[in-house]
Amino acid sequence: MMYLAAEKAQDPLLPVWPEIVIGLICFGIVFFVFSKKLLPVINKTLDERREAIEGGIEKAEAAQTEAQSVLEQYKAQLAEARHEAARLRQEAQEQGAVIIQEMKAEGQRQREEIIAAGHAQIEADRKAASSALRQDVGKLATDLAGKLVGESLQDHARQSGTVDRFLDELEAKAEATR
């Protein structure tokens, strides 16, 4: 029988009750220690991590919202700057056109003044040339007439009247033939 009892004690499939009781008591002690000492620390650490992660997510969402707001402001400022640049470009073109018109008008005015001055100078030169020509033609005509008549026609009043009358007749004939 002993042999049977020894065989029974060695059967690995059948548990030994004192070992089961001791194992349960040790498990209970370890479970009690873990639940009272270690489990609160683990839960506290997990709660802190969860709060940190949730806080980080909230901060990230706030930062993303702020970044989106700054981006919208930047886009609005950029659009405003482009609009301002287009307006300034348009103003510069308009001012350039006004300046070109003013310069053209000034050039036209100066051209007209130069032409008028030229016409006045030509008229003055023509009158001076006509006067000098009259005097020269008059002198030549009186000298020639004096040689033909045989006496001197040096009387200036008579000479001037004769020359003027002769030249006036020539001008009248020239105008009549035109």
pLDDT tens by residue, 5-40: 445 556 677 777 888 899 999 999 999 988 898 888
CB 160 within 8 Å of CB 138 = yes
d(CA 81, CA 105): 36
CA-to-CA separations, 53 to 11, 39, 41, 56, 142, in angstroms, rounded: 54, 21, 18, 5, 129
pLDDT tens by residue, 47-64: 999 988 888 888 888 889
- Check: pTM over 0.85? Answer yes or no: no
pLDDT tens by residue, 63-115: 899 999 999 999 999 999 999 999 999 999 999 999 999 999 999 999 999 99
Q: State the burial class of residue 163 (Cβ atoms within 10 Å of its Cβ: 0-12, 13-18, 19+).
A: buried
Name 64's Cβ contacts closer than 8 Å, sequence gap at least 6. Answer: none
Decide: helix, strand or coil at residue 122: helix
> Tokens standing for 154?
């040096």
d(CA 153, CA 139): 10
Decide: helix, strand or coil at residue 150: coil
